[in-house]
Structure 1
Amino acid sequence: MSNYQAKNNAAEPEVAPKRRRKFWIASGVAGLTGVVSIAAVGISTGAGAVGTDGLRWSTAQQVSKDGDQGAVAPEEHKGKKDDRRDENKDDRRDDKREHGKEVPCDTDKLIQSIIFANENHGGVLNLAKGCTYKLTRSDTSDGSGPNGLPVITESVVLKGHDTKIVRDATGEDFRILNVGRGGNLTVKGLTIKGGQTSPFAVSPATAETPEAVWSRFSNSVEATKAAEAKQAYLPLLQATPKGIAVKAKATQANGDVSVLAEPESNDGAGVLVQPGGTASFEETHIVANQAGGVGGGLANFGKASLYHTTVADNTAFLYGGGIFNAGVLRVAASTVKNNDAIIGGGGIANGAAFIFRSDIDGGTAWIEKTEITSNEVLGFGGGLLDIEGNTTVKHSKIANNTAVLAGGGVAAAGDSSLELQHVEVIKNTTVGVGGGLALAFGAIASVEHSKIDENKAGFFGAGVFNFLGQATFRNSTINGNRAVGPLGVGGGIFTIGGEIDLEKTKVAYNFATLRPGGVFSLLTDVEVDDKSAITANKPTNCEGTITPIPNCFG
């Protein structure tokens, strides 16, 4: 019998949720410092609950039906016909499993169908066309947190046709789907909506803030504050990031900081994929979910793939407003838009860093033919963030994203490996540094056949900001970026330490309030080959830089 109780659901009116841009950030920060607890709700089985027996495929009826077909064969041919009948029965059973079980528009029956599939080596579930399965209760029996549907532990396919699975707005906090170890979930043609997990209660002394976390990788926040106060800011940019010392002190007090292998109960409001789990989504919408931890729409600690899928209007109180990854992630021909996070990765976050808890190393992320647009974050990595992971983006667009501190389009930090090929990083914005791309403290980037154009920053590096990172730009453009603040420097590139290589790359038509408008370098080994050009930048190309840049004039 099921531990779930859910009311039958009527079709939900198709009402597009209003975007509440910039609304939730203030309330979200307040929520982080408030006292919020997760209450486990015990659910008992009611008298009207549906048993799994009522939903079983009737193999006895199938065998009886098959056995009635055809006349009795002569003795000398009986064995062959029996063999054929056996083969036909096997084929029909396989066909039955392939075509799946029809699930009526009833939430209880959906739950029981998943339970039955888990108990019987998986199955294909055809969900009712145009139905909204509305979830009102949750289960916490497996210890992974409140889940609106049973944890997937076998190979389960959910096929929808304009079908929605939603958390009822008046229900308790819980995620929609959870894929456990050994589970393999395939989702086609569904909308997954309204999942919500509660943030953990934290004290002001242990609250993670975007500024504190970013200061582990760069002193840009301190430097911009010094510049605003008309104080010397370059010494701060050259110094060891002060957040490293804070993290070291926290580590000494709390023990060794190791990689977090297991998700928390408030991760993944729409979908959670646990270590050892696999999930794939096709022609699916993961929308309007809110996580108190990481991964508003999807938190992947196993393997996940998205194809022709939209991840939109999700929020996360920590990292990965749309998607968080610490496993193996593939996103193809999809859209990630209008998602929000507080610390990092408004659209997608591959990995996470903290001060008072264990870090989560990024996994491997492949992003192809995908648009990452109009996402926002209070911290860094408005569109995309990689922390100590491996991220490859090809034939994609990262546009119109916003970050307050750094990396309006893309941010990478720590031992991060970032590869961009045929990617447009355009029209992104930050109040701080790195409007298009921000690299910090050991990040390595390879950018080929790509555009980092028309991005804006309030301070340093409207196109590219680099602090102790390494970047190679081949056959690319860094054009039309604007460091528009009163102290804006390095409209094209602003780099402190590390290495920058320009190969067949054009840095042109960038603007900065203060010179240079093209490339500013301090203690950076900048290599410019004879097929690259730094030209037509204002007020200067490189004049005003501290460390000379070869093949740059004016």
Structure 2
Amino acid sequence: MSNYLAKNNAAESGATSKRRRKLWLVSGVAGLTGVVSIAAVGVAAAAGAVGTEGLRWSTAQQVSKDGDLGAAEREGHKGKKGEPERRGEERGKEVPCDSDKLIQAIVYANENHGGVLELARDCTYTLTRSDEHGNGLPVITENVVLKGHDTKIVRDAGARHFRILTVGRGGHLTAKGLTIKNGQTVRSLLRGETAEGAWSRFSNSVEATKAAEASQAYLPLLQAKPKGEALKAAQAKTEATTLVDGGPHAGGGVLVHSGGTATFEESHIVGNQAGGLGGGLANFGRTSLHHTTVADNTAFFYGGGIFNAGVLEVRESRVSNNEAAIGGGGVANGAAFIFGRDIDGGTVTIERAEVTDNEALGFGGGLLDIEGTSAVRHSKIANNTALLAGGGVAAAGDSNFELSHVEIAGNSTVGVGGGLTLALGAIANVEESKIVTNKAGFFGGGVFTVLSEATFRKSEISANRAVGPLGVGGGVFNVLAEIDLDKTRVAHNFATLRPGGVFNFLGEVNVDDKSAITANKPTNCEGSLTPVPRCFG
């Protein structure tokens, strides 16, 4: 696994206190029920913010104010006689450390087939105003390169809410050596959405943990159809229409629209906030991150660090210390709602990366996949938290999940599935990976599966704990799901109640002769209501 940690020239992530920023008021957490109530927290616009009057992104008006972007530049663009016209991306244009000059340069590049913009070294371009759609810089509609040198583009703290960068249909942004900071979109108008309500679409685990705590039968709840499905059906006739590409609430730092593409290299997307989806980045097109840090961002719904509904690649990068109110503290691939239409996940590839120290008040502390396809390879998902389910990873619905050479370690949840949670149709293939030292308050310290399928091949599920007074299945908790253990070891897991290794109820656990379920406490499989083959004690 790569030890890459992007050099944070912004000095923001490194300076951040270890204390988490609490942006929501949390109440109603009784014992270990995992019941969370998020008080509505409005983000008030700063007083005296500069409006959009006077900001006119017209090349005719802006370029005339700055001769070096005028006739001489246009003449150079034409090329010599007999030579083909040169594209803008083949040239570099120095942009002084002035936000208005940056706006002018992007306008000119958009209207002249793109361009390479050399941003000022060690400069902070401070944006104080936006267009009527909440964009701090002109929407990228051509092939534009923003080449920074320890350069920051930030929203002024006193300005009205707006994101920093937007890539429109047909646009391609390449950002190098940049820090994107302090973008903030307006709070979503969706009402009544809660983490518990959304998770109830896929599992009755919250109801089951409440029943267990009240000394009532909880397994019938887990085997029943999730109650949230019925509620969703009842809302079908009146549900709100999904706004195109997440609406004005998506992408606190960066928004990539459908049909747009973006590449970030050696950059930092830090300290941004979205009123809906994607605190740091919301991607509906195609986006790649290389040697890039996404940290200290927040979202009021899904994807504290990154929200994806397109094609996303995260390579040799770090996603850390982000927060989301419903799901996907680090990365959310897709979103589920009760009062609005769902957004199916797209395709996510995470390779040689770290997803660490993220937090969700609902499910999927590190990584969440809903109705999408995700592949994580040679990476680490560690020290993430979620209150309801899936401290490290959660996948739900028709989700296809691949984990290869991945370590899921030290993640936690008050509810179920400290390391990995699979629910209602999710399918996971886990190969040569480790799910270790995770903990849950109730069921499945390492793995929680309900109405789903999983294959573990040449892997290890060990030293996980179901630590609450009613904790069951320290290693694996399986209900109405199918699990294959192929050359896999389930060992040294702990649960308060039997079994500590693998608990199975009306599911199928296939254990090959090269696998072992051993040294778990208080038992390996004894106490499981449905027998687990090749498991003794």
Which residue of structure 2 lines up, in the alignment, with residue 185 of structure 1? 173
What pairs up with 1:61-72 in 2 under 5 angstroms? none
Displacement after TM superposition at 1:43 (Å) = 1.7
1:181 is aligned with what amino acid?
R
Indicate the residue corresponding to 1:51 in structure 2: 62
1:371: which partner in 2? 354
Of Structure 1 and Structure 2, the greater helix share is in: 1
Which position in structure 2 is the counterpart of 1:307?
Answer: 290
**SS, match of residue 419 in structure 1:** strand
Bigger Cα Rg: 1
Aligned match of 2:24: 25
Counterpart of 1:406 in structure 2 is 389
Asked if 1 retains the 8 angstrom alpha-carbon contact of 2:55 and 2:131, the reply is: no
Distance (Å, rounded) in 1 between the aligned partners of 2:136 and 2:87: 30
Cα distance, 1:41 vs structure 2: 4.7
The answer (yes or no) to whether the contact 2:10–2:179 under 8 Å persists in 1 is no
> Residues 99 and 383 (structure 1 numbering): CA distance in 2 closer, same or farther, change over 3 Å?
same
| 2:102 counterpart residue number | 110
- SS at 1:398 equivalent: strand
- Residue type at the aligned position of 2:72: S
Q: Which residue of 1 aligns with 2:122?
A: 130
CA distance in 2, matches of 1:520, 1:18: 40
Change (3 A) 1:293 1:62: closer
Q: Distance in 2 between matches of 1:27 and 1:522?
A: 33
1:16 deviates by 3.2
| Counterpart-to-counterpart distance in 2, 1:35 and 1:306 | 29
For 2:144, which of 148, 156, 160 is the aligned residue? 156
Gaps spanning 5+ residues in structure 2: where?
1-8, 28-36
Q: 1:61 to 1:261 in 2, by over 3 A?
A: closer
Q: 2:375 aligns with which of 392, 406, 410?
A: 392
Letter in 1 for 2:213: E
Answering whether residue 277 of structure 2 is matched by residue 266 of structure 1, we say no
Rounded to whole Å, the distance in 2 between the matches of 1:220 and 1:248 is 20
Q: Are residue 235 (structure 1) and residue 220 (structure 2) matched?
A: yes
Distance 2:99 2:321 in 1: 29
**Contact 2:50–2:129 at 8 Å: present in 1 too?**
no
Which residue number corresponds to residue 192 of structure 2?
Answer: 207
CA distance 1:489–1:31, change in 2 (3 Å) = closer
Greater Cα shift, 228-237 or 13-22? 13-22
Task: Give the 3 Å change call, closer, same or farther, for CA 126–547 of structure 1 in structure 2.
Answer: same
Q: TM-score when scaled to structure 1?
A: 0.88
Q: Is this contact kept in 1: 2:38–2:194, CA < 8 A?
A: no
Q: Which amino acid aligns with 2:136?
A: G
Could you tell me how far 1:260 is from its partner in structure 2? 6.5
How much does 1:22 deviate? 5.2
The yes-or-no answer on 1:249 pairing with 2:234 is yes
Secondary structure in 2 matching 1:280: strand
**SS of residue paired to 2:141:** coil
**C-alpha RMSD of the superposition:** 2.6
CA distance in 1: counterparts of 2:499 and 2:142, whole angstroms: 59
For 1:305 and 1:56, locate their aligned partners in 2 and report how far apart those are by CA, in whole Å. Answer: 33
Deviation of the 1:42 alpha carbon? 3.9
C-alpha distance in 1 between matches for 2:119 and 2:127: 15
Letter in 2 for 1:489: V
Residues 32 and 201 of structure 1 are in contact (CA less than 8 Å); yes or no, is this contact kept in structure 2? no
User: Which of 525, 528, 531 in structure 2 is aligned with 1:545?
Assistant: 528
Residue aligning to 1:316: 299
2:457 is equivalent to residue 449 of structure 1? no
Q: In the TM superposition, what is the alpha-carbon distance from 1:96 to its structure 2 partner? A: 7.9
CA drift of 1:501 comes to 0.4
User: Displacement, 1:52?
Assistant: 1.2
Q: Between the two structures, name the one with larger relative contact order (CA 8 Å, sep ≥ 6).
A: 2
> Residue 101 in 1 paired to residue 101 in 2?
no
Kept in 1: contact 2:493–2:521 (CA 8 A)? yes
Measured after TM superposition, the shift of residue 524 of structure 1 is 0.5
Helix, strand or coil at the partner of 1:262: helix
Counterpart position of 2:278: 295
8 Å contact 1:260–1:360 — kept in the other structure?
no
Runs of 4+ in 1 over 6 A off after TM superposition: 11-15, 35-40
Shift in CA distance, 439/33, structure 1 to aligned 2, threshold 3 Å: same
Which residue type is aligned with residue 167 of structure 1? R
Unaligned runs of 5+ in 1: 1-10, 67-84
The Cα shift of 1:25 comes to 2.6
Number of residue pairs aligned between Structure 1 and Structure 2 = 511
Find the residue that maps to 2:175 and give its secondary structure.
strand
Does 2:441 correspond to 1:425? no
Following the alignment from structure 1 to structure 2, what is the Cα–Cα distance between the partners of residues 62 and 370?
42
Distance 1:461 1:57, change over 3 A: farther
Tell me if the contact between 2:417 and 2:444 (Cα under 8 Å) persists in the aligned partners.
Answer: yes
SS at match of 2:376: strand
Does residue 489 of the first structure (1) align with residue 500 of the second (2)? no
Instruction: Give per-residue Cα distances to partners, 1:66-90, cap 9 Å, x unaligned.
Output: 9xxxxxxxxxxxxxxxxxx746x76
TM-score of the pair, normalised by structure 2: 0.90
1:470-508 Cα distance to aligned partner (Å, 9 max, x none): 000000000000111110000000010020000000000
SS of 2:101 mapped into structure 1: helix
How far the C-alpha of 1:40 sits from its partner, in A, is: 11
Name the structure 1 match of 2:365: 382
Report the Cα distance in structure 1 between the residues aligned to 2:77 and 2:412, rounded to whole angstroms. 65
1:217 paired to 2:202: yes
Percentage identity across paired residues of the two chains: 65
* Gap change, CA 1:12 and 1:352, over 3 Å in 2: closer
Given that 2:87 and 2:114 are in contact with CA atoms closer than 8 Å, whether structure 1 keeps it comes out as no
Decide whether the 8 Å contact of 2:77 with 2:87 is kept in 1.
no
**Residues 1:547 and 1:269: Cα distance change in structure 2 (over 3 Å):** same
Conservation of the 8 A alpha-carbon contact between 1:32 and 1:199: no
Q: Secondary structure at the match of 1:539?
A: coil
Which residue of 160, 163, 173 maps to 2:161? 173
Q: For the structure 1 residues 230 and 426, does the alpha-carbon distance in structure 2 shift closer, same or farther, using more than 3 Å as the test? A: same
Equivalent-residue separation in structure 2 for 1:161 and 1:37 (angstroms)? 31
Question: Offset of 1:200 from its aligned partner?
Answer: 2.6
Deviation at 1:19, TM superposition (A): 5.5
